Structure 1
Amino acid sequence: MKKIILPLLLASIGTAAGVGAGIFLKAPPEETAEHTDGEKDETHAQDAQKDDDQGDAKYEESGDFQYVKMNNQFVVPIVDDGAVSALVVLSLSLEISEGQQSAVFQREPRLRDGFLQILFDHANLGGFTGTFTNSNNMNTLRMGLREVAKNVLGDIANDVLITDIVRQDI
């Protein structure tokens, strides 16, 4: 009998703790309440104004952008002495002008081809060996990727973001 009660008790305590943590850590709901006379709640309006001010400062010098994640990851083999010694897997996103997402997807094969060429060149030059995530290596890689994006997309592309990068030695 004790062997049955103890697991049930532990499961109940764990479930209760998980639910409690979920409730405690849940994000507060957006306040959209309006007064009966149609005026917005003052605190909500002030918060919205602060958000707008910060948003304007963030995009004031660079315009409005949206982010498009490339559909598939990029896999780059690292070749040493004629054999693959490691694989680098990257996820990329593009920072583009607002409303130009369809143009990116129409030109995605050319983008992927150009990005892969830059990634292979970077790998062949030793960019993914040693401390491959140091700022000099990453800046060189970002500049090459950005150049390809600008060549393929023109003024639509603003930047290329490396959202994930992993190296797996074989």
Structure 2
Amino acid sequence: MMKKLLPVLFLIAGLGAGAVAGLFLTPGSADTEADAKAPERHSEETTDKANKTSGHSETSGKAGPYEYLKLTKQFVVPVVEKNEISALVTMSLSLETRPGISEEFYEIEPKLRDGFLQVLFDHANIGGFDGEFTQSDNLEVLRKSLLEVARKDLGDDVSRVLIMSVSRQDT
């Protein structure tokens, strides 16, 4: 009898705890009304502060703000030794660009991915992903090669290629 009653008790306790948490975490009507009546100047100040902290502003310049554009999918690069795949390297990349080129970036992303994959394959073929492949000198060479490809397609609007993640899995 107790074995059948225990799951029902846990279900009731879970539902009760969820309801209580929902009540406590829901903003009250007083908070919502106060936010609605807040002066517009406050929202402008908040926007200005957000722009300064995120590196974005309305003005653009060479040394000024940047936009970060992430390539939509990871790159998977095989490491080949003795005509067999010995490891797979996965990487996520982003570009540091001037603001406002995201539409152009996403239009040519397939072409960028193709160029980046060629650079990554070449890097793997010369042993760039062997040993201590995360060593800063090794990654800097890779970043420079990727930047050349990005600038070939997007021009000087790209200032850096950022390696967001890299991992190697031996097979």
Q: Normalising by structure 1, report the TM-score.
A: 0.72
Map of 2:36 onto structure 1: 33
Q: Normalising by structure 2, report the TM-score.
A: 0.71
Partner amino acid, structure 1, of 2:167: V
Moved more, 79-88 or 2-11: 2-11
Map of 2:113 onto structure 1: 112
- The alpha-carbon deviation at position 41 of structure 1 amounts to 7.4
Partner amino acid, structure 2, of 1:33: A
The reply on whether 1:126 has 2:127 as its aligned counterpart is yes
Provide the C-alpha distance between the structure 2 equivalents of 1:160 and 1:133, rounded to a whole number of angstroms: 16
- The alpha-carbon deviation at position 14 of structure 1 amounts to 5.0
User: SS where residue 151 of structure 1 aligns?
Assistant: helix
**Is the CA contact (8 Å cut-off) linking 2:93 and 2:164 kept in structure 1?**
yes
Q: Write the mapping of 1:1-170 to structure 2, written as runs, cut at 5 A.
A: 1-14=1-14, 16=17, 20=21, 32-35=35-38, 39-40=39-40, 50-55=49-54, 62-170=63-171
Partner amino acid, structure 2, of 1:150: R
User: SS where residue 36 of structure 2 aligns?
Assistant: coil
Partner amino acid, structure 2, of 1:6: L
Structure 2: segments with no counterpart, 5+ residues: none
- The alpha-carbon deviation at position 96 of structure 1 amounts to 2.1
- The alpha-carbon deviation at position 32 of structure 1 amounts to 4.7
> In structure 2, do the counterparts of structure 1 residues 106 and 48 end up closer, same or farther at CA, with 3 Å as the change threshold?
closer
- The alpha-carbon deviation at position 130 of structure 1 amounts to 2.4
Count, aligned residues? 162
Partner amino acid, structure 2, of 1:99: G
- The alpha-carbon deviation at position 53 of structure 1 amounts to 4.3
Provide the C-alpha distance between the structure 1 equivalents of 2:138 and 2:19, rounded to a whole number of angstroms: 42
Provide the C-alpha distance between the structure 1 equivalents of 2:79 and 2:89, rounded to a whole number of angstroms: 7
- The alpha-carbon deviation at position 111 of structure 1 amounts to 1.4
**Is the CA contact (8 Å cut-off) linking 2:79 and 2:88 kept in structure 1?**
yes
**Is the CA contact (8 Å cut-off) linking 2:78 and 2:85 kept in structure 1?**
yes
Structure 1: segments with no counterpart, 5+ residues: none
Provide the C-alpha distance between the structure 2 equivalents of 1:20 and 1:84, rounded to a whole number of angstroms: 51
- The alpha-carbon deviation at position 12 of structure 1 amounts to 4.5
**Is the CA contact (8 Å cut-off) linking 2:66 and 2:99 kept in structure 1?**
yes
User: SS where residue 111 of structure 2 aligns?
Assistant: helix
- The alpha-carbon deviation at position 95 of structure 1 amounts to 2.2
Give the share of equivalent positions with the same residue, in percent.
42
After superposition, the C-alpha distances for 1:64-92 in whole angstroms (9 at most, x for unaligned) are 33232223321111011121111112222
After superposition, the C-alpha distances for 1:109-146 in whole angstroms (9 at most, x for unaligned) are 33122211211122122221223223222222222211
